[in-house]
Amino acid sequence: MLNLFGLTLKELEDAISGTGKERYRARQIYGWVYNKGIFDFSMMDNIPKNLRVLFKDMFSMDSLQLFECLESADGSIKFSFKTVDDKIIESVLIPEKKRLTLCVSSQIGCRMACSFCVTGKIGFIRNLETHEIIGQVMGVKRYLSKSSKNNGISSERITNIVFMGMGEPMDNFDNVVKAIEIMKEPLGLDFSRRRITISTVGILGGLRSIKPGMAGIAISLNAASEQKRTEIMPINRLYPIKDILDFVRHYKASPRERITFEYVLIKGFNDSLDDAKMLYELLKKIPCKINLIPFNESPYSPFKTPDKKTIDEFHSYLVNKCLTVIIRNSRGPDVNGACGQLGMAYLKEKQKDMSYA
């Protein structure tokens, strides 16, 4: 049985035409599932009953089990999903003034081993399948739909998707690209390419395979010197800053599109004015945006968050140099849903196992 959430529209058309049935039935199914939120084939009343029975036997819509929702004081919600093999995936819904952004995971664990990231300390468990990536979006859509019915208000719509959850998207390239195709399909989830962002440590093989216009790109830089970046991001040995910047300089983006650099500010490590000056020298000739992310503390890292004065001085220096820079405020830290905190459940479980040993 094929999982519907793992099929592009063309793949669904091919599967249906392979049975001798009309290809346009795929568009009908996509409309019911993605636009109307109907997951029961028996309710798809513009499809003949005999085909509804056939499709029910051909396609599954079982993907993830939503077993926990934790709401932060700032309005963010961390969703914990269980996979069929009893693993945990975490996603975070972030409400803003004109946006409702869903941060999705692409792997269970991560092999990048960034020292400031909880997920990196889990190690790599496995890649997520396409249907598990789409399953996060569908699970949150269902949650929003049920919440709106219970509250008697119209359903809020997810406006943006960011691949900034657990895992490195470029390390699961094929499944991520396929999921983005489903997300962008007008008959599917219908997200504009400007509303989807892939965050990566800078795996150049994947970055070079991205077609301009497929999605926005955010690269985790986090240091302005090769030595410091290698210290907190071992992947820098393979993909150093100089090679990443060379890629960015030659990236053929649309005129309005700029790559974003993410910079996690860590107290006493990369938050000085000297670091800001080095960052300016690196990026001053590159059209880009910079997101400054104050480090989110956890019991699993010795790093600390810089004080507000240090963050503001770092930000002001770059802004005064005419770079486009924003401070990305932490969302969901009280439910361990902020940047760098996802996957804490695995480490807690590991600690529990060790205490019994």
140 close to 91: Cβ distance less than 8 angstroms: yes
Angle, in degrees to the nearest 10, between helices 130-151 and 173-184? 40
How far is C-alpha 268 from the geometric centre of its chain's CA atoms? 28
Q: Is 71 one of the annotated active-site residues of the chain? A: no
Whose tokens are 């994947």? That residue is: 206
Alpha helices in the chain (DSSP H): 9-17, 24-30, 49-58, 118-122, 130-151, 173-184, 204-209, 226-232, 241-250, 273-283, 308-320, 344-356
Bridge-based pairing state of the strands 160-163 and 100-103? parallel
Catalytic residue, from 90, 168, 262, 297: name it. Answer: 90
Which letter does DSSP use for residue 188 in this model?
Answer: T
Catalytic residue, from 103, 110, 117, 339: name it. Answer: 339
Partnered with residue 89 across adjacent β-strands are 81
Tally of helices (H runs) and strands (E runs) in the chain: 12, 14
Q: Which two tokens stand for residue 115?
A: 């020292």
- In angstroms, rounded to a whole number, what is the distance separating the alpha carbons of residues 39 and 30? 10
Q: Is 339 one of the annotated active-site residues of the chain? A: yes
Burial of 20 (0-12, 13-18, 19+ CB in 10 A): exposed
- In angstroms, rounded to a whole number, what is the distance separating the alpha carbons of residues 286 and 264? 19
Catalytic residue numbers? Answer: 90, 339
